[in-house]
Amino acid sequence: MKHAEGTATERVERALLVQVVTGRTPRGAAADSLGELERLADTAGAVVVGRITQRREGPTAGLYVGEGKLADIQVACRRGRANLVIFDNDLSAVQVNNLDLALGIKVIDRTELILQIFARRARSAEAKIQVELAQLQYLVSRIPVSVRQQRFQGGIGMRGPGESPLQLRNEPMRRRIRDLQARLEQVRRRRERTRRRRTWPFVCLTGYTNAGKSTLLNALSEGGAYVDDRLFATLDTKTRRVNLGGGRRALVTDTVGFIRHLPHGLVASFRSTLDVAAEADLLLIVADASDAALDDHLRVVAGTLEEIGAERVPALLLLNKCDALEARAAAARAAAFPDAVRVSALRRRGLDTLKARIAATLLEQGCRFPPAGPPPAARRRDGEAGC
């Protein structure tokens, strides 16, 4: 029994967080980013044993950090018995390799950490395809290329300069990438056909990760969407039918949350999922009103919506978790965002006001509400409905 406990203890990843702050990045933004990295590490199942931050004009080519700071990282790893180092920066393949050799333990960056979380959280077949595609594209771009790659020279029966060993080694991954892209294209076409048949108004919940979107979906629809107080609890789209009152109903979909420095490969791979926001009749941008980084989160959401082509979709801002604010803070937030709807998804406060605003906004957009009855899309499985 003791042996089994010891084995389980040895498998726990003890992570040291490293952040290099470059240029004129404000201290508050850097601190928020590092705190978010710690939450990401916790979501991935790692135990954070320490933090190291360095401010410099720019990263070094070989190690990203300076030689002196590298020595500090080595000491911190020994003291904290760390077996993993996580950088709050994007590292090149050469930098990761050099840091691995210098530290003698595994080194990953923020992008790889997010990819690992997505891989753990993926449940549906579509989400697994999207995550695998993002991982393969990341791996292909990270394989270091030797300067002196010997090529198979052209000869009898061969044309051109031939292929390098690296190209031959990468070809199976590239074939798999092409296969996954083709499968996602089939999903996109199926969703497009479903959208054309849709007769009910379609509303999409979007916003920063862990803002309470899934909790709000459950509160609006009496549904059972998975909820967890961790980042990226939801990767699969879930669509529910919501009664807005007055005989009006709409389909409401929950989507994957956004985060600062969201890897572009993930955005591209999850395009078929994120397209629900661009095709919606109305966006509900859910924000955590109790988070001190609210303004920064809203900027990240706006930038991501623009990246996926959803910046012109009509939107309502929802300030969620208002029950966690003191009266003075709540009044200040309400004054800063006068058009926002204040709700508490957990305590189900403000939902009637929200439903009325949704119905009014949809009517302003010219949406029509068909007679009550189950919409065709509502009978589809999660991840396929309403888009």
Give the separation between CA 92 and CA 28, rounded to whole angstroms: 26
**What's the distance, Cα to Cα, between the start and end of the chain in Å?**
51
Reported as a single tens digit per residue, the pLDDT across 35-58 is 999 999 998 889 999 999 999 888
Confidence band of 377 (pLDDT split at 50, 70, 90): very low
Q: What is the pLDDT of residues 201-216, one digit of tens each?
A: 999 999 998 888 988 9
| Per-residue pLDDT band at 199 (split at 50, 70, 90) | confident
Q: What was the pLDDT predicted at 270? A: 75
Superfamily of chain region 13-116: GTPase HflX, N-terminal domain (3.40.50.11060)
pLDDT at residue 116 greater than cutoff 60:
yes
CA distance 233 to 254: 11
In the chain, what are the domain boundaries? 13-116, 198-379
Task: Name the 3-class secondary structure at 53.
Answer: strand
Query: Residue 359 above 90 pLDDT?
Result: yes
Q: Is 309 left (phi over 0), alpha (psi -120 to 50) or beta?
A: left
Q: What mean pLDDT value characterizes the chain?
A: 80
For the chain, how many helices (H) and strands (E)?
A: 13, 10
Residue-level pLDDT at 369 = 80
* pLDDT at 99 > cutoff 90: yes
Q: Residues 124-138: what's their mean pLDDT? A: 84
Are 245 and 359 in contact by the 8 Å Cβ rule? The answer is: yes
Residues 342, 289: Cα–Cα separation, whole Å: 9
State both tokens at 34: 């590092």
Mean pLDDT of 323-342: 79
* pTM across the whole model: 0.77
Query: Which segments of the chain does DSSP mark as H helices, in order?
Result: 2-11, 27-43, 67-80, 93-103, 110-121, 125-142, 165-197, 213-221, 264-269, 271-278, 294-307, 327-336, 351-364
198-379 matches 13-116 in CATH topology: yes
Q: Above 60 in pLDDT, residue 158?
A: no
The predicted structure's pLDDT at residue 105: 92
Q: What is the pLDDT of residue 354?
A: 95
**Which of 270-279, 280-289, 335-344 is most confident?**
280-289
CB 252 within 8 A of CB 316: no
Mean pLDDT of 62-77: 93
What's the pLDDT at 152? 41
Mean pLDDT: which of 164-178, 181-195, 284-298 is highest? 284-298
Identify the band that residue 224 occupies on the pLDDT scale cut at 50, 70 and 90: low
- Of 115-119, 214-218, 326-330, 343-347, the poorest mean pLDDT is in 326-330
Confidence of residue 267 (pLDDT cuts 50, 70, 90): confident
Give the pLDDT score at 4.
41
In terms of CATH architecture, what is 198-379?
3-Layer(aba) Sandwich (3.40)
Overall average pLDDT of the 292-300 stretch: 89
Nearest residue to 361 via CA among 252, 279, 283, 285: 283
Q: Is 161 a residue whose pLDDT tops 80?
A: no
Does residue 22 surpass a pLDDT of 50?
yes
Confidence of residue 12 (pLDDT cuts 50, 70, 90): confident
Which pLDDT belongs to residue 203?
93
Alpha-helix residue ranges (DSSP H) falling in 81-212: 93-103, 110-121, 125-142, 165-197
Which contiguous run of DSSP H or E holds residue 286? strand 282-288
Q: Distance (Å, rounded) from C-alpha 26 to C-alpha 41? A: 23
> Is the per-residue pLDDT at 8 higher than 50?
no
Whether the per-residue pLDDT at 157 is higher than 50: the answer is: no
The more confident residue out of 376 and 231 is: 231
